[in-house]
Amino acid sequence: MLLLGIETSCDDTAAAVVRDGRHVLSNVSTNQDAFHAKFGGIVPEIASRRHVELLSAAIEDALDRAGVALGDLDGIAVTAGPGLVGSLAIGVAEAKALAYASGKPLYAVNHLHGHIFAPFLDAADEPEYPFLALLVSGGHSQLVHVDGPLRMRILGRTLDDAAGEAFDKTARLLGLPYPGGPQIDRLAREGDATAVAFPRNRATRGSLDMSFSGLKTSAKYFLASPDGRDAVAADVAASFQAAVVDVLMDRTKRAAQRGAYRTAVLSGGVAANSALQRAFGEWGAASGIRTHVPPLRYCTDNAAMIAAAADRQGEAARADALTLTANPNLPFEPAAGAAA
């Protein structure tokens, strides 16, 4: 299938053309960071206004770069949720209009399913089912058992902040600009990860859930303390990053022990983190589990991953009606009976 993907769930205005859920013919993304940076986080109203201004041009650009016309497509895939309602609504309205005008099927995609299928894009070596997915982004942190497209189960999730949110908030405390994850990653390279003993959230008996709010609070109190005021920012960044990575890897290892997995994927914006990628890869090599991490451009929000997820739904013959509406709280697990 040749699909156009559209992604506007947060602050990236993105469109892509993907063949067979694997081969990316074009991947266009207009980042809005400059508009939100001075507010220290995403302003939903600004995000949706920018989507209105940018989306049509992003779609035209994606079709042009791929060298295809609307009529050549087999369908239009769009993120229907979860995300910011005003942002989602712009993408969904545009996708419905294109589907109506072209007569092509419309595929509603869960943004998180997109992250899970990102490792299949332009991959020389595709993940094999069943696999374990560690999905870490600005809005979500969860471990997922993936049997196949539309057959996925959450094994554990954050009880409070997402890992990316913890990175962004701690970066702000360190006076770093938004988004803070890449800034901490960069700064941490020059720091000592053992300099500050930040707490690691321990797993409660039998649970694979995690928590990052205690860590963030601990960073806040440390930075306000006399030791914290004298501390080297790079050391704080490296120590904080090490604590997040330890918690994520602890839950990943526990999940893997239970499922006897042969394959694991790391995805979502925080998958771009160099320390997490290293720890994930080293764990895979040591435990004989084949690990897959998408290239940076497919880790952070993009529209190619939306087309990749839709392609797999398409195989299960699940096109959506033009009455589709955005759902900011779209549940992760597909309704019973939806799977092929």
> Where along the sequence are the contacts to ligand KG4 (CB under 6 A)?
10, 137-139, 164, 167-168, 179-182, 185, 268-270, 272-273, 300-301
Cβ(184)–Cβ(233) below 8 Å: no
Return the number of the residue (63 or 244) whose C-beta is nearest Zn ion.
244
Residue with smaller CB distance to Zn ion, 89 or 242? 89
Q: Which residue is nearest to Zn ion (CB)?
A: 137
Candidates 8, 87, 137, 291; binder of Zn ion (CB under 5 A) is 137
Closer by beta carbon to ligand KG4, 74 or else 160: 160
Residue whose CB is less far from Zn ion, 234 or 271: 271
Per CB under 5 A, does 201 bind Zn ion? no
Does 8 bind Zn ion (CB under 5 A)? Our answer is no
Q: Which is nearer to ligand KG4, 10 or 266 (CB)?
A: 10
Q: Could you tell which of Zn ion, ligand KG4, none binds residue 75, using a CB distance below 5 to 8 A set by kind?
A: none
SS3 189: coil
Between 1 and 133, name the residue whose CB sits nearer to ligand KG4: 133
Q: Which does 188 bind (CB under 5 to 8 A by kind): ligand KG4, Zn ion, none?
A: none
Q: What is the DSSP string of 295-324?
A: -HHHHSS-SHHHHHHHHHHHHTT--B-TT-
Q: Which long-range contacts (CB under 8 A, 24 or more apart) does 273-278 make?
A: 273/167, 273/181, 273/185, 273/241, 273/245, 274/185, 274/189, 275/185, 275/188, 275/193, 275/241, 275/242, 275/245, 276/136, 276/244, 276/245, 276/248, 276/249
Segment near Zn ion (CB under 5 A); pick from 11-19, 77-85, 130-138, 323-331? 130-138
Which part of the chain contacts Zn ion (CB under 5 A), choosing from 22-30, 77-85, 166-174, 300-308?
300-308
Cα separation, 233 vs 107, whole angstroms: 45
Residue 272 binding result from Zn ion, ligand KG4, none, given CB thresholds of 5 to 8 Å by partner type? ligand KG4
> At closest approach, how far in Å is the CB of 52 from ligand KG4?
20
Minimum distance, C-beta of residue 210 to Zn ion, in the bound complex (Å): 18
Question: Could you tell me if residue 20 is left (phi over 0), alpha (psi between -120 and 50 degrees) or otherwise beta?
Answer: left
DSSP, collapsed to helix, strand or coil, labels residue 148 as: strand
Question: Would residue 67 be called left, alpha or beta, if left means φ above 0 and alpha means ψ between -120 and 50 degrees?
Answer: left
- Of the candidate spans 84-92, 134-142, 226-234, 281-289, the one that interacts with Zn ion by CB under 5 A turns out to be 134-142
Count of CA atoms in the C-beta half-sphere (13 A) of 199 = 16
Q: Does position 79 bind Zn ion by CB under 5 A?
A: no
Residue from 135, 215, 210 nearest 170 by CA: 215
CA–CA gap between residue 312 and residue 225 (Å, rounded): 51
Element (H, E) at 223: helix 213-224
Choice from 301, 302, 305, 326 touching Zn ion (CB under 5 A):
301
12 counts as binding Zn ion under rule CB under 5 A: no
Using CB under 5 A, list all residues that contact Zn ion.
137, 301
